[in-house]
Amino acid sequence: MNEPSFINGLILAGGKSTRMGTDKSLLNYHGKPQRDYLMGILSSFCRNTYLSCKEDEGIPKHFNPIPDQFEFDSPLNGIISAFQHDPSSAWLTVPVDMPWVDENTFKFLIEHRDQKKIATCFWDSTGKQPEPLLTLWEPHATTLLSDFYKKGGVSPREFLITHNAKMVEASTPNWLRNINSKQEFNQFRNSLHRKL
């Protein structure tokens, strides 16, 4: 068995945040902007950590921004752009709108890693499809991802399904919950205060 590939971290923050009405990467769930929170956690597991974004203007350099290299709206843009930046490493991706993600989430995913597959990901909340954005992508996915896009594919979930990714059940279902509106954000913050 070959030695495991280096893992880079990628915070997916290139979405328009239309429903939220503000940049979701700057929302404060844990005492700091979510992109800072995720950067800190990922750095414990990854050789380098980057921020996927539409464009890098105004983003501090310590986030190592990787702007989208293609003209289409999908998280797949950020994933392919990351592989263009470093095709020889694995990429551990996480969206900025999953505030329940923590160290245990990444540890669990890495422990269940299967390098023979193109990726290792969680079953989504329905238990029937892959959760495409909280995923560990292997280096040999890079060419397949590019070919998928060139043939008109833009859905990372569809890619994972058609390429037989390894899917595991999350030990903590909350990991996969995302926040898309101000109401959901306020409910999350209120739930934290009730625990304190």
What pLDDT is attached to residue 192?
65
Looking at the structure, give the CATH architecture of the domain made up of residues 7-195.
Answer: Alpha-Beta Complex (3.90)
Kindly report each contact of residues 16-24 with a partner whose C-beta sits within 8 Å and lies 24 or more positions away, as own/partner: 16/73, 19/180, 19/181, 20/97, 20/179, 20/180, 20/181, 20/182, 20/185, 21/182, 24/96, 24/97, 24/179
* pLDDT for position 60: 94
DSSP for 34-95, please give it.
HHHHHHHHHTTT-SEEEEEES--TT--GGG-EEE--SSS-SHHHHHHHHHHH-TTSEEEEEE
Return the pLDDT at 17. 57
Amino acid 196: pLDDT? 43
Domains in the chain: boundaries:
7-195
- What local confidence, expressed as pLDDT, does residue 166 receive? 97
With tokens 């896009």, the residue in question is 149
Classify residue 173 by its DSSP letter.
G
Type of residue found at 115: Q
Provide the residue-wise pLDDT of the chain in tens; the chain has 196 residues: 455 679 999 999 976 555 566 788 999 999 999 999 999 999 999 999 999 999 988 899 999 999 999 999 999 999 999 999 999 999 999 999 999 999 999 999 999 999 999 999 999 988 899 999 999 999 999 999 999 999 999 999 999 999 999 999 999 999 999 998 888 888 888 776 555 4
